[in-house]
């Protein structure tokens, strides 16, 4: 074919919009309808290969063989490190590109989980620790979620002005966080104020600032409308208020719920038509197979189909799928990047920075001058607790026991026994366990939860409620075992794996130190061991509040924010949002900010941070805002900025931070944001405001009032 015969859609010098219009114009109606399915068939006459849109990359390329397994999303949220997240996502995209092109070279097309469209990140708000899928999120705060999610999107999609490295997807839009057992039928009722203050800000940031390529609708209804066919969410807000230019995909088989469990339509043809007309462009499921019937019945027209096909093909062109590989900068990424040494080291860095030190009585950590060490517990040799859910597979998983064994110096007597089970009482308890534990200098008890106990419906096979948790405490069999250890005189360092908050209550008194390590990825064992032995100081901060018990929480199905998260709860938590200790000691001083700023202006903040301890370490400086006289419905506190800092022992740094004008605004009952004149208080510290942080040993925070005129 000479240049004169080249179709416009194959001419890489032309604008993408013109190329897409040319290609869509060459398709028959039947061909267009096929392309709106997630497993789109080939169109050989146009040179279009079959393409499966379904890919996952939550914390590494998932469900497609070998990949670097990074810490679960909630663990990476505990790093509070935007730069790290962008580097992690870029590494994930590199591996996805390498795997995609290797598959194309071998088979000429890609299949399920082998494409470049990744349905990540999950930026729903983790409003209740009972939600099993909360581990996939960036925590309970909309600002932290938006910042971390945006960094992830930037890393995944790359910086090339013409091509996407991969296509990210913000999910699940919107107001979606359980219960899992009712997600196909549930109607999340929420006020406009809560909608715009809590549930939408992260989505807005990813759409308007990070330019996320795709948005996935949620299974549930929100205020009566099915999310995957919502006038308010998809038309008025997403494309209207925010000007979204990408494509919308349904959650898997969610459109079937429109006519079955939600009852907003009467049959599959009506569901398919309503979804397309409201702006759902691509379906994961089979309801769009009825679009031909919908057309025949006049429920939608060819223009609606063309619009959807245009949107999804714009994404495929931006991924370079119709251009010569030598013109696509990401097409030459070699297979050798997959789980390479640099990516393994990045996974280690993420795991180290995610670990949160909740307690360190008598400075038992870091471990030094030991003669004997006893490792016990059901998660110590458990590889599943490294991976979380939506995971890839690695040939180099390092369990907790493997990491501890590799790091323990010779001459220190080291023993290991499982001791107890995660959830069930042992059939034959060992009589040797307690005696060995009591004779050891320190017992490292590896306990907590596993992905079998919390996750998505169908995955968490130990959950009696489709992946959610009924109770949020440590399982009773583990509590009983810890009590026995304490009664026998063991000095316990408790290492907890989990994807959500565990309400420890008085169980926290049974251990001298508590490390919360989440589901830490393939390098988790090495990272935990290095923190235990003091090769690096712990620096993670909680991305969600840890309550004392369920008694402090509203009902799970209640989506109103009253009484939830650090922003609205008045009950004192066991461990506050933003909290995390270190082996060194940080001190804040010299807070400076203007006495008055005009409405619409940014707030400059200056403070001094000193590492007053004897060890280098990282501190996450956090800025919170509150009204001196809050109105009903206003948040008690709002995170408005943060910065992770590394300081050598004895080092002092001056911090210059900005609170953006939009962070000073408050939404009214209609959801409209406005900067309200009046007196405000700004807090600067290493945890969210409140007396609990100080009693737990967090650095004393500073605060100052200012006026917005």
d(CA 289, CA 268): 9
d(CA 575, CA 544): 9
Closest CA to 581 of 364, 380, 398, 348: 364
Q: Residue 4 has what DSSP assignment?
A: G
Q: 50 with 99: CB under 8 angstroms?
A: no
CB atoms within 10 A of CB 371: 10
Report the DSSP pairing between strands 221-222 and 39-40: unpaired
- Mark whether 402 is an active-site residue: no
Phi, psi of 415, deg, nearest 5: -125, 155
Furthest CA-CA distance within the chain:
86
Q: 219 with 227: CB under 8 angstroms?
A: yes
Q: 16 with 302: CB under 8 angstroms?
A: no
Catalytic residue among 180, 454, 512, 618: 454
Q: Which two tokens stand for residue 381?
A: 């040799």
- Mark whether 395 is an active-site residue: no
Helix (H) or strand (E) holding 566: helix 565-568
Cα distances from 118 to residues 159, 419, 550, in angstroms, run 17, 40, 35
Catalytic residue among 56, 86, 128, 251: 251
**DSSP string of 121-132, one letter each residue:** -B------TT-G
| Residue at token pair 């925010």 | 242
Contacts of 193 (CB under 8 A, 6+ apart): 633, 667, 668, 669, 670, 671
Q: 473 with 505: CB under 8 angstroms?
A: yes
Closest CA to 401 of 376, 438, 384: 376
Give strand ranges (E) for 482-616: 492-497, 513-516, 586-592, 596-597, 603-611
Angle between helices 82-107 and 341-354 (to 10 degrees): 140
Q: Which two tokens stand for residue 614?
A: 């004897």
Q: Residue 377 has what DSSP assignment?
A: S
Residues acting as catalytic residues: 251, 454
């Amino acid at each position: 074919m000479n240049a004169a015969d080249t179709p416009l859609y194959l001419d890489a010098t032309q604008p993408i919009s013109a190329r897409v219009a040319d290609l869509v114009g060459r398709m028959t109606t039947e061909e267009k309808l096929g392309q709106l399915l997630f497993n789109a068939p080939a169109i050989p006459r146009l040179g279009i290969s079959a393409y499966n849109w379904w890919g996952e990359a939550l914390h590494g390329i998932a469900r497609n063989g070998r990949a670097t397994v990074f810490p679960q999303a909630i663990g990476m949220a505990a790093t509070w490190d935007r730069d790290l997240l962008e580097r992690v996502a870029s590494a994930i995209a590199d591996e996805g590109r390498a795997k995609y092109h290797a598959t194309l070279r071998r088979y000429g097309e890609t299949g399920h989980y082998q494409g470049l469209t990744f349905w990540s990140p999950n930026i729903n708000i983790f409003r209740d620790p009972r939600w099993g899928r909360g581990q996939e999120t960036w925590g309970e705060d909309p600002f932290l979620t938006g910042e971390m999610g945006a960094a992830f999107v930037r890393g995944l999609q790359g910086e090339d002005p013409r091509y996407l490295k991969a296509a990210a997807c913000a999910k699940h839009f919107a107001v979606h966080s359980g219960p899992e057992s009712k997600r196909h039928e549930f109607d999340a009722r929420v006020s406009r104020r809560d909608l715009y203050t809590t549930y939408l800000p992260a989505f807005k940031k990813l759409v308007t600032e990070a330019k996320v390529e795709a948005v996935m609708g949620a299974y549930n209804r929100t205020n009566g409308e099915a999310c995957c066919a919502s006038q308010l969410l998809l038309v008025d807000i997403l494309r209207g208020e925010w000007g979204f230019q990408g494509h919308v995909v349904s959650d898997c088989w969610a459109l079937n719920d429109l006519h079955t469990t939600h009852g907003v339509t009467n049959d599959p043809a009506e569901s398919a038509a309503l979804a397309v007309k409201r702006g759902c462009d691509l379906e994961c499921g089979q309801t769009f197979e009825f679009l031909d019937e919908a057309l025949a019945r006049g429920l939608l027209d060819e223009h609606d189909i063309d619009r959807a096909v245009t949107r999804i093909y714009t994404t495929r062109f931006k991924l370079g799928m119709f251009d010569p590989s030598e013109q696509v900068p990401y097409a030459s990424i070699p297979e050798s990047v997959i789980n390479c040494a640099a990516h393994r080291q990045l996974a280690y860095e993420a795991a180290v920075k995610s670990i949160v030190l909740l307690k360190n009585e008598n400075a038992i950590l870091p471990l030094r001058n030991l003669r004997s060490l006893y490792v016990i517990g059901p998660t110590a040799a458990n590889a599943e607790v490294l991976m979380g859910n939506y995971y890839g597979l690695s040939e180099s998983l390092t369990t907790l026991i493997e990491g501890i064994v590799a790091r323990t110096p010779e001459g220190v007597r080291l023993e290991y026994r499982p001791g107890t089970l995660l959830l069930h009482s042992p059939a034959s308890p060992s009589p040797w366990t307690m005696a060995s534990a009591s004779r050891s200098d320190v017992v490292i008890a590896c306990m907590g939860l596993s992905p079998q106990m919390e996750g998505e419906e169908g995955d968490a096979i130990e959950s009696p409620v489709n992946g959610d948790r009924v109770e949020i405490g440590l399982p009773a069999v583990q509590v009983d075992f810890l009590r026995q250890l304490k009664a026998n005189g063991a000095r316990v360092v408790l290492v907890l794996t989990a994807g959500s908050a565990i309400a420890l209550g008085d169980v926290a008194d049974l251990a001298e130190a508590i490390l919360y390590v989440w589901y830490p990825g393939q390098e988790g064992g090495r990272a935990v061991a290095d923190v235990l032995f003091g090769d690096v100081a712990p620096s993670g901060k909680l991305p969600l509040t840890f309550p004392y018990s369920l008694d402090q929480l509203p009902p799970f199905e209640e989506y109103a924010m009253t009484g939830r998260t650090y922003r609205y709860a008045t009950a004192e938590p066991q461990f506050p949002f933003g909290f995390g200790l270190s082996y060194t000691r940080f001190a804040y001083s010299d807070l400076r900010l203007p006495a008055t700023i005009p409405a619409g202006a940014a707030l400059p903040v200056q403070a001094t941070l000193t590492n007053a301890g004897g060890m280098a370490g990282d501190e996450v400086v956090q800025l919170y805002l509150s009204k001196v006289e809050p109105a009903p419905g206003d948040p008690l506190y709002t995170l408005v900025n943060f910065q992770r800092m590394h300081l050598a022992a004895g080092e002092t740094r001056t911090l210059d931070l900005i609170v953006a004008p939009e962070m000073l605004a408050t939404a009214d009952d209609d959801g409209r944001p406005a900067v309200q004149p009046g007196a405000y208080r700004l807090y600067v510290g290493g945890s969210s405001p409140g007396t609990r942080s100080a009693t737990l040993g967090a650095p004393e925070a500073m605060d100052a009032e200012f006026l917005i005129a």
